[in-house]
Chains A and B, each alone.
Chain A
């Protein structure tokens, strides 16, 4: 069975600090997708990134970067020079591939990030 573990529950940083959110996953599949979503207080989950299991290249998008390491089953997310607007709950999720329609997402419990001015 697939599982996503986000061991950090709450992180508090001061604006402009860098912060890394950890994600460790378990799956028996060789082909799968990993995701990060952001959930602001409004409640809507905002898609941030998708990474497939065959692509271990790190990715950078502005202040956001992601480090995927298959050897340690980790998919960590770093925010550089954090801003108050980054305050939210961040979820890591796993989807095993399936024929036909999309597979279900298995989410971690989320990490609450608070960025103080």
Chain B
């Protein structure tokens, strides 16, 4: 069974640029959630995708957007980067739908630094 993978591991961007982070969900999982974890804080929910549709969104501006593909992998896109976007971005996969499981399995994260 393949776990959750994320790429890249680390990324440095300049304020105003755009970034795309990628996540491959665990085998058999159809739901992907994205979280932002600032230094010294707990993860904050950005949004969730279930069967290629957005299914819930946290308190993040529209410049945070996402996609989920037919193989259930996902992308997080952030436009017009700000210094406060510097954080660890975590992807979590889980099984939703008729066989609901509330256990979310996390990837290793992407460390984004905005300068």
With an 8 A cutoff between CB atoms, is B107 at the interface?
A: yes
Q: Are B102's CB and A33's CB within 8 A?
A: yes
Q: Are A47's CB and B103's CB within 8 A?
A: yes
**A102-B33 contact, Cβ under 8 Å, with A43-B88, A44-B108, A44-B109:** yes
Q: Which residues of B contact A50 (CB under 8 A)?
A: 102-103
With an 8 A cutoff between CB atoms, is A87 at the interface?
A: no
Q: Which residue of B lies closest to A49 (CB)?
A: B103
In the complex the two chains form, what is the Cα distance from A107 to B111 in whole Å?
19
Q: Are B105's CB and A102's CB within 8 A?
A: no
B105's contact among A47, A93, A106, by CB below 8 Å, is which? A47
**Nearest 7 A/B pairs, CB to CB:** A101-B96, A107-B42, A101-B50, A45-B106, A104-B45, A44-B108, A101-B55
**A104-B108 contact, Cβ under 8 Å, with A50-B102, A91-B43:** no
B51, B102, B107 — most chain A CB neighbours (10 Å): B102
| Nearest chain A CB to B23 CB, angstrom units | 13
Q: Which residues of B contact A (CB under 8 A)?
A: 31, 33, 35, 40-45, 48, 50-51, 55-56, 58, 88, 90, 92, 94-97, 100-109, 111
Q: Are B109's CB and A47's CB within 8 A?
A: no
In the complex the two chains form, what is the Cα distance from A102 to B93 in whole Å?
10
Q: Are A109's CB and B42's CB within 8 A?
A: yes
| Nearest chain A CB to B37 CB, angstrom units | 8
A104's contact among B42, B48, B109, by CB below 8 Å, is which? B48
| Nearest chain B CB to A28 CB, angstrom units | 17
In the complex the two chains form, what is the Cα distance from A101 to B111 in whole Å?
27
Q: Which residue of B lies closest to A109 (CB)?
A: B42
A102's contact among B40, B90, B100, by CB below 8 Å, is which? B100
With an 8 A cutoff between CB atoms, is A42 at the interface?
A: yes
Q: Are B43's CB and A45's CB within 8 A?
A: yes
